[in-house]
Structure 1
Amino acid sequence: MMSSLSKSEFCLIRLYSSRPSWVPSFITKWTRSSSSRSSPKSASPDFLINHKDWLSPNEVVKIFQTLEDPTLAISAFNEISKRKDYRPTEAVYTSVITKLAQAKHFDAIEELMQRIKIERSCRLSDDFFYHVIKIYGHLAGRINRAIETLFDMPNYKCWPTIKTFNFVLNLLVSTKQFDIIHEVYMGASKLGVEIDACCLNILIKGLCGCGDLNGALQLLDEFPKQHCKPNVRTYSTLMHGLFERRRFDEAFGLFERMEKEGIELDTIAYNTLIWGMRKQGGKVEEGVELLRRMRFKGCEPNEATYQEVVYGLLEGKKFVEAKDFMDRMMSTGGRPSYDSFKLLINGLCSQGLVEDVNWAVKKMVCYGYAPKKGMWAPMIRLLMVSRNRSNNELLLEEIIGNG
């Protein structure tokens, strides 16, 4: 028997075969299965051997960090809390709550939070509550509980930072809880939170999301009242909302206002403007010029930038220019969409450009796209009227091989 066990495992078995009263029962369960587990990540309480009658908070944290079965977290915590040396810390509570979240035991987290409030055995930081609120919002889908936890923080003798406050606001926007956002925002003073530009930007995003563009525009006047300045994210969000509702003059007016205030545009802002120009129609050249200006200013375009320009050129029936832009896009690592290839090929076919169609089909296949039935007819018609037999054969090979 000794030959099949390590020295430490043999010592553990001897130690726990006559388990003293100080050893929690759940640790005995771990020990029974230790001989069948060899992974160094196993939840083994080896470190307890040298502390038979005392566990430090750091050692308690290690127990939960190495606990393989998260469903045992609450029973393990109950056992440890019965010990005379039980001294909870923020790190202990965080490790327990993290394991409960992994097990999706969200009711147990709520019960533990109530227990923490009653015990008041240690001071908790804003980071702790940010972690709990994030679990409620993202993992549990308990949005109301996230809000309640935010406003309950003073009862734990902790006041939220703007980071945690803004997280809750953004959570409400992302989950489209537009009717609650203003109520939470108005509670900032009760929580001692000082509003910043990020907070106002989240509100603008929410108002644009629910279609209240006038309310979003009015929030621009709120910035100086809160001793804040609107930034590029403020204007990008507003311009996008205005473009969506075809309020083009107001959107471009904001662009001019940005320039007067000396706010540098970033890639997202440029993409929004190019998209707006495309949506307005007939401003293809302006979009191309904006791309040139963007690069001149040292702001690198991304895949979305090129894609917007390509769509604008395709919609303006500038198919050869669109092909050149797609080529440039691919050379920078971008991936054109299937729709852009489809529109390009159909457009090139209509102009009888066999070689360009052949190039487009090959590139399309390289990116894992296959021409669908709707694309075959214009290509076959092009083959029938074209006099270049070699190009016809190449294109026909691509169609047959990937159709």
Structure 2
Amino acid sequence: MFSCRYRQLIHKLYFPFSLQRSNLGTPSSPFSSSQIQNSDWLSSNEVIKIFQNLKNPNSALTLLNQISNRKDYRPNEAIYSVVVKNLAIAKNFDAIETLMEKIKIERKCRLSDEFFYNVIKIYGHLAGRINRSIDTLFDMPNYKCFPSVKTFNFVLNLLVNTKQFDVVHKVYVRGSELGVEIDACCLNIIIKGLCRCGEIDAAYKVFDEFPKQNCSPNVRTFSTIMHALCDHGRVDEALSLLDRMENENVEPDAIVFNTLISGLRKQRRVDEGIDMFKKVMLKGCDPNPGTYQEVLYALLDAKRFLEAKNFMSVMIDKRVNPSFESYKVIVHGLCDGKLVGDLDWVLKQMVRHGFVPRMGMWKKILGCLFPDGG
């Protein structure tokens, strides 16, 4: 019913630390649920082993209730974590909510921020219960635990990624209630949300929040706004942010340059894009495969096929393989220009990189080689 791979995925994604802290490993349990009542004493480690070896993870809450009636039962975070893990594997999210209420009412142990982070992550990613994630975040003080900025930011990012932009600000402004110290990552999430809903000018204003929160914008701050500006055709404004980065001692990375080159390409400002690529090299910033590909696409868009072929050679020397789409466009372009010698080189590189020309491409090539159908 529940595959071993699915169990491992749940453990890796949502409980990377909980069972490591108990130093248990994964030995076979000497106990089964039917033997619990016959055992005189169960240590916390033995209880955890029972849950680790449950054949039916959906029975975890029932079993916990059974164990809770024992006089030797001492709840702790590791026990609750393995129970939540089982319920997550069973996709029994209602039972997780029941367990969380039980923990809050009983108040028998303190839970860490990491525990709540994992529960919130399950609600948000696995269960799709976004509102439950928010409620759990703001309910944490009732468990005598306050969220870290990591947990707070996770919820903000969850809201942005699920396009609940109207809720993001409501959660953000309540951060002080939870004692959260706003950091650059938090403000970057707000900027990402504003950019995604087209509020670029509002995103600009978030720059003013950085000094108020005693933090500074980083490269991600700038690249997010640059991307939004380029998407809306405001490339010159995006370019001007490079100067602001320099003034604020923020080093641009390959993502920043890729964004700007792509923006220039979409406006057919090819030479400016090539100059931007040269600027990358001069600044000592390592271009990534995306940087090379954007320049190549710019040359292909401008039908500068010989320059594109030469740039392909540079890419290949740098062990960056052009895309199949790049090969397709340049083959068609070289065929139209009857540039047979250059076409031969491109085809050899294409095959060498594992791409096989399709029927339409072969027809184009044959039409170039034998224009009279001979």
Query: TM-score, normalising length from structure 1?
Result: 0.80
CA distance in 1, matches of 2:321, 2:125: 31
SS in 1 for 2:141: helix
CA distance in 2, matches of 1:145, 1:330: 50
| Alignment of structure 1 residues 3-402 onto 2, 5 Å | 44-45=30-31, 52-282=39-269, 284-385=270-371
Q: Structure 1 pair 64/356, CA: closer, same or farther in 2 (3 Å)?
A: farther
Of stretches 254-263 and 102-111 in structure 1, the one that deviates more from structure 2 is 254-263
CA distance in 2, matches of 1:338, 1:169: 38
Higher Cα Rg: structure 1 or 2?
A: 1
1:60-80 Cα distance to aligned partner (Å, 9 max, x none): 222222334322322322222
Q: Structure 1 pair 368/210, CA: closer, same or farther in 2 (3 Å)?
A: same
Instruction: Give the letter for the 1:93 counterpart.
Output: Y
Contact 1:178 1:206 in 2 (8 A): yes
Q: How many residues align?
A: 346
- TM-fit CA distance, 1:331: 4.4
1:208-227 Cα distance to aligned partner (Å, 9 max, x none): 00111111111111112222
Contact 1:43 1:68 in 2 (8 A): no
Of stretches 107-116 and 60-69 in structure 1, the one that deviates more from structure 2 is 60-69
Contact 2:229 2:235 in 1 (8 A): yes
Instruction: Give the letter for the 1:289 counterpart.
Output: D
RMSD: 2.4
Q: Structure 1 pair 298/66, CA: closer, same or farther in 2 (3 Å)?
A: farther
Any unmatched runs of 5+ in structure 2?
A: 1-25
Instruction: Give the letter for the 2:156 counterpart.
Output: L
Contact 2:300 2:308 in 1 (8 A): yes
1:334-361 Cα distance to aligned partner (Å, 9 max, x none): 3432221111111111221213223323
CA distance in 2, matches of 1:297, 1:68: 58
Q: Structure 1 pair 68/354, CA: closer, same or farther in 2 (3 Å)?
A: farther
CA distance in 2, matches of 1:295, 1:55: 65
Instruction: Give the letter for the 2:366 counterpart.
Output: I
Contact 1:346 1:378 in 2 (8 A): yes
- TM-fit CA distance, 1:133: 0.4
Point out which structure has higher relative CO (alpha carbons under 8 A, 6+ apart): 2
Contact 2:235 2:260 in 1 (8 A): no
CA distance in 2, matches of 1:326, 1:368: 16
Of stretches 372-381 and 158-167 in structure 1, the one that deviates more from structure 2 is 372-381
SS in 1 for 2:175: coil
- TM-fit CA distance, 1:362: 3.5
CA distance in 2, matches of 1:44, 1:278: 66
